[in-house]
Chain A
């Protein structure tokens, strides 16, 4: 069987809409250096690297080769993994499997994106089938607007429910020095913001950011030696769906439901709402923060709005979600899902600063992307 793996260091850039002060390679170096500092290691301690982003945003082919100076990977093993929005968790999973396989002891996983150099929506559009779906399902907002419209109709959720989630995440971001957007907003301000694609409004939706994140995975024996309180990886699970958007189920989120179910099984979690202490979820729009709660098994189908209205997922609630401010506060796409893993790890390690959930012992991080794909990590303070 494989090795047990702990996260022993996390680093991220100070994310922004435009990091004119740094090139892509420099953003990577910033995250790598900070992760090494966090773990109190030097680059010589890293046995292998894995990196990912989305090709068409910066137009750099063979990013794993190009990033060598930023990664510090010269004369070291490195390769690239990429899966669209889920790239960050894909990179994290790959770092985890590097170590769990027993082939490497200490591995650095890096996700990055410099969206200010891209035409994000145009690049995303080409993920859809060129003859059937590129016109109708192009870009990131359309499918998300469609699914929440259907959820509202099916279960009586409202635009205000989504606005509560938006206000929660955006206000949480004020406690996170790395977040791209740190701005107090009210539910009324969210509801009054410009409509992008009904029912999603400007303040419901994620921005595009420049930034990078690095997470260091270590094998059990080394993790114990190198880190006072590693965040142990209890599981990494991915579930995919059909290739065409038109084939998808829209009133619930089948991949998230399947992935979290398997993750809870592997991590021995029976009642996630009670047993999880904190979540960092890849919610690309606040609407997902309503609808997808059903699919995380926090409640029965259609009951998420009631939990939102009760404040269950607020910082002082039963299960705080996105203390970092989440994706709607910060979205360097190739890094976004890895930031979820890194933030969840920091919560377990007790290094989350002003956004720390006291005594967090079990955390969940997710990634979302592609054709409604879902990735799940569960991390814990105790060995798996």
Chain B
């Protein structure tokens, strides 16, 4: 099987109330990603955009960015969901032999959206939606179930927030770099018990683009230092209704990780992975996903973090970018996690560089309470 490389990345700064239109955000990141790859739009033969009609407030949301992504006259398609799934489709299209170079781009303007209303429409319209469920209060149910199942407590969630906001101090693109304590998190406003404001990711605007290339092109266009290989990928979805799932169970993530690890030849993830960007939409989620990714036993995520293993200096730094807790442009977020991994593997991550990173993991989720997962292994 031919290999696929990521040869260019670009992200905007993540912040609220960006004045740019969707098209301006996309034009910015696609142009800079092409520049990063050292190629022009002429070398690109297809585009995968990632957007959502709900978050964008317009039907066929990809129409707004078609020109700006360089798709005129090209083969373009749109994934609706997290950017990690967009990258997966981008890779499939190259592996099929039909294409040689794919632009994958995602945009999001949370500050023009109504988060509660939009995430409420992700629930069953007849029963669950009427209860007022949304991303935050359903996450609270999951957090409570996780606490109940494994005897985890709120301060242990808070520690994740402290770590990730602290990491963001080293990332100039992050929206919420903050030196905070567990007490600060515990004292922040309660949104849905047991989740407080600082347990939750912020509403964010931003965009990200990746340039993927078939091995034959990647080797011609870029130096070894610039190339990052897409070594393994897996995705899997759990049941839809919250009541049909054990919300503290991470079986879908385990399945996705198993597939990605098998493809990339990862037998011992903690030893073989040097840095991970994990989808911490909420503080507790990072703990659950660490377990699902096999970094520790089930129920031991909090201890993994407490022991400092996931710290910037730890044995497996998790979310050195500051994670989604420090900037959470929905759809963009997983693609941004991949872009961060690429910078880490190239040794271009600046102050947040994890020394000698050779293999990285990026993770994205779809749906409420992490119903669906996509796991990427990227490597030198």
Contacts and interface: CB of A to CB of B under 8 A. Distances in A.
Interface of A: 1-3, 54-56, 59-69, 73-84, 90, 93-94, 96-98, 100-103, 123-127, 129-130, 236-243, 258, 369-371
A76 B237 contact: yes
Contacts of A240: 66, 71-74, 76
Interface in B78-106: 78-81, 85, 88-89, 91-98
B122 interface: yes
Interface in B230-270: 233-240, 251-252, 255-256
Given A61-B52, A80-B79, A124 B236 contact: no
Contacts of B67: 242-243
A75 B237 contact: yes
A78 B79 CA distance: 11
B215 to A, nearest CB: 12
B80 A80 contact: yes
Contact of B96 (A2, A79, A90): A2
Contacts of B256: 77
Contacts of A238: 75-77
B92 A127 contact: no
Given A64-B372, A79-B88, A371-B63, 7 more contacts: A2-B95, A62-B366, A83-B62, A83-B78, A97-B93, A126-B58, A243-B64
B131 interface: no
Contact of B23 (A63, A243, A258): A243
B261 to A, nearest CB: 15
A254 B301 CA distance: 55
Interface residues of B, number: 63
B368 A68 contact: no
B114 to A, nearest CB: 12
A196 to B, nearest CB: 20
Report the 8 A-B pairs with minimum CB-CB distance, sorted nearest first. A65-B367, A100-B96, A2-B97, A84-B60, A101-B95, A55-B53, A2-B96, A1-B97
B121 interface: yes
B57 interface: yes
B334 to A, nearest CB: 12
A82 B80 contact: yes
Contacts of A236: 98
A75 B255 contact: yes
Contact of B89 (A79, A126, A127): A79
Contacts of B59: 54-56, 84, 123-127
Contacts of B74: 239-240
Nearest to A81: B79
A258 B367 CA distance: 37
A60 B121 contact: yes
A261 to B, nearest CB: 11
A83 B60 contact: yes
A237 B73 CA distance: 11
B119 A61 contact: yes
A47 to B, nearest CB: 11
Contacts of A96: 96
A75 B95 contact: no
A101 B66 contact: no
A74 B239 contact: yes
